[in-house]
């Protein structure tokens, strides 16, 4: 299950889109195509304003994620690191903060009782990033990513599948030119995650995202 708060209408790289509405439609279609490559069967894109998530009501956004967690009952929740991920985007930071609160509050019956029965997901991960690349800010591009990792997954042949999925985002191909295709391909060879929270106490070294997860 994939949840996106915006459809990317405020993106700097716009392909051939004539206006924001057309870009939003294009990026929704690109996301659907990428999900098909990766085998993602459920993808929901909301209608919050792109580039303006920090100005939205925090509790409202948390409630949106709490409702999905309680309805879909995931065992593992994955979100951005609070640094804003590879391009240090403010929306990414906001999604990280919202999802972190929702992970914890979805498990508490007194929080958002109108959003369904409490559900405690077992693990919360932040996605790390192998490099930072911020448009028109080379001083930030040179800064190492600030989210450490506790789990590294070597993708092997799946890296090509991931690159193919990225290729479906045709309106964003200028990103490859800015970052460099070799850098992107190298970065896709492995995925790194930080285990930010888990059900129960104690942390141990991991080698799989579903390690220790049990059937609910």
Q: What is the DSSP string of 93-154?
A: HHHHHHHHHHHHHTT-TTSSGGG-S----SEEEEE--S----TT-HHHHTSPPS---SEEEE
- Residue 197 pairs in a beta bridge with 124
- In tens digits, the chain (216 residues) has pLDDT values of 999 999 876 666 655 666 777 788 888 999 999 999 999 999 999 999 999 999 999 999 999 999 999 999 999 999 999 988 888 889 999 999 999 999 999 999 999 999 999 999 999 999 988 777 777 777 776 665 678 889 999 999 899 999 899 889 888 777 777 777 777 778 788 899 999 999 886 666 778 888 888 887
Eight-state DSSP code of residue 54: G
Structure tokens at 147: 């989210």
- Position 96 scores a pLDDT of 97
Instruction: Pick the closest to residue 171 from 37, 28, 14 (CA basis).
Output: 14
- Position 171 scores a pLDDT of 82
- Position 201 scores a pLDDT of 65
- Position 67 scores a pLDDT of 98
Beta carbons within 8 Å of 203's beta carbon, 6+ residues apart: 150, 195
Q: What is the CA radius of gyration of the chain?
A: 18
């Amino acid at each position: 299950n994939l949840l996106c708060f915006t459809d990317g209408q405020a993106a700097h790289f716009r392909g051939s889109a004539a206006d924001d509405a057309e870009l939003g439609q294009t990026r929704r279609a690109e996301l659907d195509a990428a999900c098909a490559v990766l085998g993602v069967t459920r993808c929901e894109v909301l209608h919050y304003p792109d580039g303006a998530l920090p100005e939205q009501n925090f509790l409202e956004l948390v409630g949106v994620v709490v409702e999905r967690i309680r309805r879909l009952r995931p065992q593992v929740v994955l979100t951005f690191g609070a640094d804003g991920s590879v391009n240090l985007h403010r929306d990414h930071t906001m999604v990280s903060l919202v999802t972190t609160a929702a992970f914890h509050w979805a498990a508490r019956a007194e929080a958002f009782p109108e959003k369904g029965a409490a559900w405690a997901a077992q693990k919360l991960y932040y996605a790390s990033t192998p490099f930072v690349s911020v448009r028109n800010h080379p001083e930030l591009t040179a800064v190492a990513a600030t989210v450490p990792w506790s789990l590294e997954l070597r993708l092997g042949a799946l890296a090509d599948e991931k690159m193919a999925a990225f290729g479906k985002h045709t309106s964003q191909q200028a990103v490859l030119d800015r970052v460099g295709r070799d850098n992107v391909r190298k970065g896709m060879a492995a995925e790194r995650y930080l285990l930010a929270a888990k059900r129960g106490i104690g942390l141990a070294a991991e080698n799989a995202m579903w390690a220790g997860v049990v059937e609910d």
